[in-house]
A and B are shown apart, each in its own frame.
Chain A
Amino acid sequence: MEVRRLTENGIEEFRKYLSKLRSGSTADPPHELLTDPDASEPVPGSARVEKLIFDTRLDAARYLDEDLSGLELDSIETDVGLWSWLSMFYFDQVCPRGKDGSRKPGRDYRHILEPGYRNEHRHLLAGAYVSYSVYSLGENLGKLILYSPPSVESRFYHELAARQSLVTNPGVMEAVNLLYFHEREKRPKPAALSKKQKPGTFFRFIDVIQQLDLTYDLYSMTGEEVLELLPSEFDRWREY
């Protein structure tokens, strides 16, 4: 299907649908909005999307990175109508039905982009796309924060994406992947998200890195060099 963007009317209808879901409705998504000329409009340039199944947000980001390259927009990442349309198109993936048939959409900003520091990164598809493409994390550096299914914002993503100085820093992102991503099992290491003050855990990493960032130019370092600066409490996370 040719990619479009939702208009104000379309977004309003989408909001109403999300609200109904939160009230317990099990209605199907209003997919007619995707093509209704009152609810959606063409986007400059050209891009087509297919109803693929993405196992992870990384898979979705990779696909969108390639697929949206034909659009002629100044700032793809902040186009509210575009990302709302894409969320509607992939709604079964960003808000799947549970066993009882209900959907749990969460806050609107997970599906309807809210530009700004507070919630922009929390749109499930746009957030993944920005991490992969705009921050240039790509396959290697994006695997930890985008390992979760398209409908889930992982804690790794939540903490790092909210801190622009960390998520845009290749050395820091390489270090966090080396510490907490299990290469063989292709998933985060168990217990990496243990309680905040537990030695060497992810939350401690955030605290320590923010302190080091005041003294060192972390941006010019490789992941290995960042790891060398960390205290010994992090050693065991590298080793397993």
Chain B
Amino acid sequence: MIRKFNYTGRQKIKRSNVKIDLTRNGGGTRFFNISLHLDDLDLLDNAHIYIEAYHRSGYQRFDFGSIGEKRIPSDRWLRNLSNSAIPLFRVKVVDRTFTHGRILASVDKIRPQSVDNEQTDSQSLLFVEFDDLGNLIWELDIDGDWPTLRLNTKAEEISLVASSDNRFLPLVYPEIVKQILTRVLLKDEHTDPDCDDDWPSLCLKLASTLPGMDYPPQTGKAEQERWIEKAVEAFSASYDMLERFNKSFQEIK
């Protein structure tokens, strides 16, 4: 079993204490606003605050002054990131008293709560992105920072289809659940839903709380495979996948 232990003494910044809104200018360049509360942590006044934005090959870092003297930089344009990307954010509080800056507190993989004034589901376990996927309609990317359903920009009405088509949802989403749980449990051997708030733990937690489900087995490949199958079935039942699928054909008739 893989569990993560924090031996570093680093404090954890609550996700709920970081809120990010993403906007853009007329030319399309992204800009972010942030609301950050660190008052519940025990941090040095002279510790520095950094906000980092990243998406695939893009990365940008912003200096927000110190705990005692916060300074919001006026230039918060995300010039190094693609305009079409919705980046993730990382907050670090760093003690720079010594040559080698030590991280005192951090939180990673923060998703903006709004993009272009539209609320996003910042707690979602599955992000959605649009790309040129050649001849594929969709694919699941679980090699990046957060599970992402990638949809082909060239597929007709794909945004609408993926969000509301009663054929797409039953055919695709159970497979996504299966792929994610297989990756977490069998490949990465991560079995603890309560370990942290990174996506593998959150996905296990979600699956464990579906009707009829319990925590995943810590060992035994066959037992874990059965648990995954049961979770996919419970997920499909919870979201009435069969009924949705059948109903979609009745609508056609």
On chain A, the residues within 8 Å of B144 by CB distance are 116-117
**Does B240 sit within 8 A of A, measured CB to CB?**
no
Q: How far is the CB of B96 from chain A (nearest CB, A)?
A: 7
| Interface residue count on the A side (C-beta < 8 Å) | 30
On chain B, the residues within 8 Å of A229 by CB distance are 100
**Does B141 sit within 8 A of A, measured CB to CB?**
yes
Interface, chain B (partner A; CB < 8 A): 8, 10, 28, 50, 52, 54, 56-59, 61, 80, 82-84, 92, 94, 96, 99-103, 131-134, 139, 141, 143-145, 150, 154
Interface 9-residue window, one of A46-54, A211-219, A231-239: A211-219
On chain B, the residues within 8 Å of A114 by CB distance are 134
Q: How far is the CB of A76 from chain B (nearest CB, A)?
A: 10
Q: Would you call the interface of chain A mostly helix, strand, loop, or mixed?
A: helix
Q: How far is the CB of B13 from chain A (nearest CB, A)?
A: 15
On chain A, the residues within 8 Å of B99 by CB distance are 221, 225, 228
On chain B, the residues within 8 Å of A117 by CB distance are 56, 141, 143-145
Q: How far is the CB of A118 from chain B (nearest CB, A)?
A: 5
What mask results when residues 194 to 229 of chain A are scored 1 for a CB within 8 Å of chain B, else 0? 000000000000000000001111011100010011
Interface, chain A (partner B; CB < 8 A): 8, 11, 74-75, 77-78, 80, 112, 114-118, 120-121, 130, 134-135, 164, 168, 214-217, 219-221, 225, 228-229
On chain A, the residues within 8 Å of B133 by CB distance are 115
On chain B, the residues within 8 Å of A130 by CB distance are 57
Name B145's closest neighbour in chain A (CB-CB). A117
On chain A, the residues within 8 Å of B154 by CB distance are 8
